[in-house]
Amino acid sequence: MVNNILQKLTILSAVLILILTASIGNAYEDVGVSVSIKGNVNYANKKKANLLAEKQAIISYLKRINPSAVKKACAKQLVDSRALLIRNISRKSVSKIGDYMEASYVVCIDDKKFNNRLEELGCDAQTGVTKVTILIMEEPPTKANISMILNPEDSTGVRKLRGLGPFAVFYTSYQRSIRDTIISKANQEGIKLTSLDKFEEFQKMKRSNDDPLVGVYFDVDSEDFVINKSLLKFVRSRFAAQTTIVLYYRIKSLYFDQVTRELKADIAISLYNLNSGETKSVGSQDFMVIVPEGQASVAIRDGLAEVASNAASLLMNKAKEQIRRIITTTQIPKTQPVIVTVHLNSKRTMYKVKKNLKPDMISHSEIKDGSLILNLAKGIQADDFVYGELLDVLEGMGIKIPESNIRLNGQEVIIQQ
């Protein structure tokens, strides 16, 4: 009977890990495009439309992740490499309108291959007009949110562990696991994160031989997590002269119950602009597995590292979009105004949007050629306006704009309903 239960728990654990790992490894993005071909709906024109949709999807995706590369030679090379970068394409509609055949498609792009190719061509997002450095660091976890019932006398599940047990002892191994997972996931998305322990000049800041230099360490005297203030001060002085973003991760909660055998971690990520002092929260993500009964504490230790790093990996799916927005914003010349063009289905709706926007964020607005044209006021950043003001106004009117319909291209932003 006991063996059967253990076997079922093991299978359940394996299934959970398999399902969640599959979602972690997903590096594909769908791009919606519409094309127009002069002529009737026939096989030859469908073939032309299919080819045009592939090319258009590559350029549209490039505009999203690195608009400064659109007019470079690498854009053509990416289009030429589309057979390797496109996973599949599906036609959603086709119709004859006037003298033209119009068709819409969803093109599935392999994000990892796309960004690897960008890097090979020297056109990745962080090598635009302004070089952007992204550091990875940690914010201290909340000790009260770490609960691990591992002592035999606590096996009833009603008392907390006395102290932090193996989590404190093996804390640096968790830090390395989470850090390395985030870096690996970011690399898949074409984002280069910099680890401080790669710099020789930072080695003197280590609190122990295996300190991964993420800015937090466990102090055995105070039995608490402490910020390495001297390291933070050195980071500020070392990177003050360049555009630098700090990706902060935090172990929001960590939990193991010896009765239910649940092992769960919750990770939060935020982005801090070292130059402007702005912080953007990405959010949090949890990850849970069931640990089969009878496993040694070392297996639980490794499991804690696994759930924490997997939660971080899932969260990076959200973080990459925020990072790209910040990088794109840094490439905009500060002396030039940002122009936001909004394409909506109704001119009446555009007038309502124009009226409801905060006037101090806009220097000039007009409806021209069926579009709402907005010149942003001096000092207003494109991503702050779009994601902090415009989308809120649109959603308040019942209009939801998908991420794929938002284009940040230098000092120009285009939004399509």
With a cut of 50, say whether residue 156 has pLDDT above it: no
> Is there a domain that residue 22 lies in?
no
Domain-embedded: residue 241: yes
| Residue 4 belongs to a domain | no
HSE, side-chain direction, 13 A CA sphere, residue 341: 13
Whether 257 has a pLDDT exceeding 90, the answer reads: no
185 and 270 housed in the same domain: yes
Which of 49-63, 101-115, 259-273, 324-338 shows the lowest mean pLDDT across its residues?
324-338
Instruction: Assess whether pLDDT exceeds 80 at residue 228.
Output: yes
pLDDT beyond 80 at 302:
no
**CATH (domain of 91):** 3.30.1660
Please tell me whether residues 324 and 378 are part of one structural domain: no
pLDDT for the residue 143: 76
Residues 249 and 277 reside in one and the same domain:
yes
Same domain, yes or no, for 143 and 113?
no
User: Do 63 and 176 belong together in one domain?
Assistant: no
The full length of the chain comes to 417
User: What pLDDT was estimated at residue 25?
Assistant: 45
What CA–CA distances, in Å, run from 298 to 102, 167, 263, 303, 326?
60, 11, 14, 8, 40
Which stretches within 121-274 are classed as H helix? 165-169, 171-188, 229-239
- Same-domain check for residues 107 and 137: no
106 or 370, higher pLDDT: 106
Give the confidence band of 216 by pLDDT, cuts at 50, 70, 90. very high
What are residue 76's DSSP bridge partners? Answer: none
For residue 181, is it within any domain? yes
In a domain, 10, yes or no: no
* Structural domain ending residue among the three candidates 100, 120, 140: 120
Given 74, 104, 120, which residue is the final one in a domain? 120
The answer to the question of residue 166 being in a domain is: yes
Cα gap 384→340, rounded to integer Å: 12
Q: Which domain holds residue 378?
A: 339-416
Q: Which residue has the higher pLDDT, 326 or 376?
A: 376
Residues 74 and 191 in one domain: no
Residue 257 lies in a domain: yes
Coil, helix or strand at residue 3: helix
Q: What is the pLDDT of residue 227?
A: 93
Q: Are residues 189 and 314 in the same domain?
A: yes
pLDDT at 404 over 80: no
**321 shares a domain with 347:** no
96 pLDDT exceeds 80?
yes
**Residue 309 confidence class, pLDDT cut points 50, 70, 90:** confident
- State the total domains in the chain: 3
Confidence class for position 58, pLDDT limits 50, 70, 90 = very high
| 233 and 108 share one domain | no
Q: Kindly state whether residues 241 and 161 are assigned to the same domain.
A: yes
Verdict on whether the full-model pTM lies above 0.85: no
The residue type at 53: A
Query: What stretches of 40-142 adopt beta strand conformation (E)?
Result: 86-97, 100-110, 132-139
For residues 275 and 399, state if they share a domain.
no
Residue ending a domain, choose from 120, 143, 167: 120
> Does residue 233 lie within any of the structural domains?
yes
Report the alpha-carbon distance of residue 309 to residue 229 in Å, rounded: 25
CB-based contact 105:117 (threshold 8 Å): no
Six-digit token pair at 190?
């074409």
Task: Provide the 3-class DSSP secondary structure of residue 360.
Answer: helix
